[in-house]
Structure 1
């Protein structure tokens, strides 16, 4: 697989049609107090399509792209906005949006239907500086905590968490560094992210072999879709999502090698925390690890887990409650955050195959799948051709055998002898002189 990345050869999109990143699309929609159903109604698409746009699985094109960018900039038109007051007017987007659109993270202007907190947060955010090429493969900086502050979520309770400070955002072409071949960029991403991802997958599953297998599978998948990963704004997040999905698949319970977790750690604190994590359902476990362990904010956690922001907040509250009941010293959210952050930041000790071996395994698997599909197609074609050649040209129905209907014997021959008939026939055949004695000829 030697295809080159298309991130550096394609001209950047114009400012008028520059799409924000998937996580920023979700944040802008929530800042405008719009639901997915309302956006789908305005755009003339389904709710599933809007969800796919916000998770990065697809992107609008053509006129829908322009309409979607305009909707995220200024909100819906007054006639199409649901329950919009007649006095509220939508102002034109400021120059800061035009400057940030090319970086993939536009900042909307505060309008009449924007919540005060979201408007203040957007106004206080400083302009983002473009990331240097050597910083593109580095992970996002850890959220700086300025004391626990409530994170308000519509329709759910407040979640105590740190108020993150704005940090440098990666450019859309996160791994498309000029001068690097796709193989070199993949090797750099693998060397940077794979050890930490193995450690995180172990915290989610409690199985070391499964965690290594999940990370290797995720990088196989990333190399197969490298043109998409190379231009992604967060390539580490792309691979992390694939590794988490594979590691938390319920089908691994049917495999004998991964049926039971590994032996717990010897340290009592680590053993108690790992047991509390494994006692949670998989979505709750993943949510608390992303939010409290990796330091993602609530919208990013919800987007990566493919859940709404209120659902992610409720999962986080429930996970903290369960962990606090099982480990009393971690009942405080700040203590849990510090413990999980320390646990995630530990130096991993997993031994992994080289990046070249992972790329070769991905290419071999792709070739095997291609050959299997071609072989199955050829067999199907041969079977179809053989069936068409040997099939009869017309249908001749078979003559059904005769049957007795209401005691009427079958025409065309004697009936089959029953048991009594057979006994009578054998008795008559066994007697030498069945007739009267007077008819038997006398010897002369």
Structure 2
């Protein structure tokens, strides 16, 4: 009997965005669907997916079934080579919505971080006015570059399902196209996050190597550029780099004093605020997407953004306007001469790395098998119980040594020593 097709669900990031748009917590969704909060969290992280009736209930709760069925005829009518676009909501409304949710939850700072801590400071009205941009801050998510004064179109391009680029391309060509579009801006972004040129180049190259290793997964992702960007950010901002000998000394600062001052202020921010500021004001992501990529709630992401903007405005008053801050990020990132990873070299290095670790795993497995075989060969085949320690037994006299010699024994002893020890007379002794 043929089974009915499974209810379509959006991507994990989109599930989280839809839930937060309805002002629902993970506990609320878990109670409505009939699962635990950890299960809902696993669904939003992409680790697992609901099945059966829970999948249908989850889809109805997110209101994705009518949207999917309505969008299917439009997708069929769309000519080949065109992509769907989604208009970004106004950032001011997002920040105001986040602040209103924070006030309803009874918090002073309006948000919780990824570690569950709550901020105890409430953004002042002046900070809210500083957070209000004079114009939209969009940026095409597929390019994700810092172009200085140039602003991309305020529509986000979503790749067609099952592809990462134009249809008809081979995997090598699609990967090369993605690398050519995203690598220049991604290197500048990681440099602004870390302040180290070599680490920025290494992070982007490592992210693209990881993407090529998992290309079947990245090719069908809703946002391949975001996948690579998240991998590069995670590697670049890892705290373990501080133990590397090459990272003990800071890099040479930028040539211009203004650039040096701006980079010092940017690097003085906490890593979480720095990444949130880069994603929202630099890349141009929406607030829910920024929160999902930084693994924080939307109010927490808004709180981090406000604190980061306030810290920069306190030390650099000229950058109190978010539009000026965006331009400054592009200018400082574009002023550096950074080496870009080559797509062919990235693919070759990724294949060499995968081949090396595969051979290392095979060698390690063979070593374990050999050690196990040697142990089985040399191990004893039967059990030999250990010898029990001795103990005293009552009723048995102890063994004694020879006692002192009597007078007769001493006389015989002297007589034997006085006689000759050699000769035939020893065979025929005389009677005395």
Q: Do 1:148 and 1:160's aligned partners in 2 also have CA atoms closer than 8 Å?
A: no
Aligned residue in 1 for 2:405: none
Q: Do 1:131 and 1:168's aligned partners in 2 also have CA atoms closer than 8 Å?
A: no
Aligned residue in 1 for 2:252: 263
Aligned residue in 2 for 1:117: none
| Distance in 1, Cα, partners of 2:73 & 2:389 | 80
CA spacing shift, 1:247–1:401, aligned 2, 3 Å: farther
Aligned residue in 2 for 1:227: 216
Shift of 1:276: 1.1
| Distance in 1, Cα, partners of 2:399 & 2:186 | 84
Aligned residue in 2 for 1:432: none
| Distance in 2, Cα, partners of 1:61 & 1:261 | 51
Q: Do 2:91 and 2:287's aligned partners in 1 also have CA atoms closer than 8 Å?
A: no
Residues 1:384 and 2:332 aligned together: no
| Distance in 2, Cα, partners of 1:336 & 1:396 | 80
| Distance in 2, Cα, partners of 1:341 & 1:412 | 100
Alignment deviations for residues 6-34 of structure 1 (CA, whole Å, 9 cap, x no partner): xxxxxxx97x7222233332222122221
Alignment deviations for residues 381-406 of structure 1 (CA, whole Å, 9 cap, x no partner): 22122222322331432555999xxx
- Please, which moves more after superposition, 219-228 or 166-175? 166-175
CA spacing shift, 1:210–1:43, aligned 2, 3 Å: same
Q: Do 1:54 and 1:303's aligned partners in 2 also have CA atoms closer than 8 Å?
A: no
Aligned residue in 2 for 1:100: 71
Q: Which has the higher contact order (CA 8 A, sep 6+)?
A: 2
Q: Do 2:164 and 2:224's aligned partners in 1 also have CA atoms closer than 8 Å?
A: yes
Superposition map of 1:151-162 within 5 A: 151-153=96-98, 154-155=101-102, 156=110, 160-161=132-133
Aligned residue in 2 for 1:360: 348
CA spacing shift, 1:398–1:202, aligned 2, 3 Å: farther
Aligned residue in 2 for 1:273: 262
| Distance in 2, Cα, partners of 1:72 & 1:271 | 47
| Distance in 2, Cα, partners of 1:207 & 1:413 | 87
| Distance in 2, Cα, partners of 1:239 & 1:339 | 24
| Distance in 2, Cα, partners of 1:51 & 1:169 | 27
Residues 1:245 and 2:248 aligned together: no
Q: Do 1:19 and 1:69's aligned partners in 2 also have CA atoms closer than 8 Å?
A: yes
TM-score, scaled relative to structure 1: 0.68
Alignment deviations for residues 138-196 of structure 1 (CA, whole Å, 9 cap, x no partner): xx999798989853202125653456787354134451532111111111111111121
Q: Do 1:174 and 1:234's aligned partners in 2 also have CA atoms closer than 8 Å?
A: no
CA spacing shift, 1:314–1:369, aligned 2, 3 Å: same
Shift of 1:359: 0.8
Q: Do 2:8 and 2:68's aligned partners in 1 also have CA atoms closer than 8 Å?
A: no
| Distance in 2, Cα, partners of 1:413 & 1:312 | 92
| Distance in 2, Cα, partners of 1:70 & 1:320 | 38
Shift of 1:307: 0.8
Aligned residue in 1 for 2:360: 372
TM-score, scaled relative to structure 2: 0.70
| Distance in 1, Cα, partners of 2:294 & 2:79 | 27
CA spacing shift, 1:334–1:209, aligned 2, 3 Å: same
Residues 1:396 and 2:393 aligned together: no
Superposition map of 1:75-90 within 5 A: none
| Distance in 1, Cα, partners of 2:368 & 2:259 | 55
Shift of 1:268: 2.0
Structure with bigger gyration radius: 2
Over the residues paired in the alignment, what is the CA RMSD in angstroms? 3.5
Shift of 1:63: 4.1
Q: 1:335 aligns with which of 321, 324, 340?
A: 324
Aligned residue in 1 for 2:404: none
| Distance in 1, Cα, partners of 2:79 & 2:218 | 18
Superposition map of 1:415-434 within 5 A: none
Q: Do 2:187 and 2:340's aligned partners in 1 also have CA atoms closer than 8 Å?
A: no
CA spacing shift, 1:268–1:164, aligned 2, 3 Å: closer
Which protein is richer in helix relative to its size?
Answer: 2
Aligned residue in 1 for 2:22: 32
Structure 1: give runs of 5+ residues left out of the alignment. 1-12, 75-92, 105-128, 404-410, 415-444
Q: 1:133 aligns with which of 73, 76, 81?
A: 81
Q: 1:315 aligns with which of 291, 304, 309?
A: 304
Residues 1:211 and 2:200 aligned together: yes
CA spacing shift, 1:338–1:164, aligned 2, 3 Å: closer
CA spacing shift, 1:335–1:400, aligned 2, 3 Å: farther
| Runs of 4+ residues deviating >6 angstroms | 101-104, 140-149, 411-414
Residues 1:185 and 2:174 aligned together: yes
Q: Do 1:294 and 1:341's aligned partners in 2 also have CA atoms closer than 8 Å?
A: no
Q: Do 1:142 and 1:295's aligned partners in 2 also have CA atoms closer than 8 Å?
A: no
Structure 2: give runs of 5+ residues left out of the alignment. 103-109, 111-122, 139-153, 393-397, 402-432
| Distance in 2, Cα, partners of 1:222 & 1:255 | 24
Superposition map of 1:192-203 within 5 A: 192-203=181-192
| Distance in 2, Cα, partners of 1:357 & 1:152 | 45
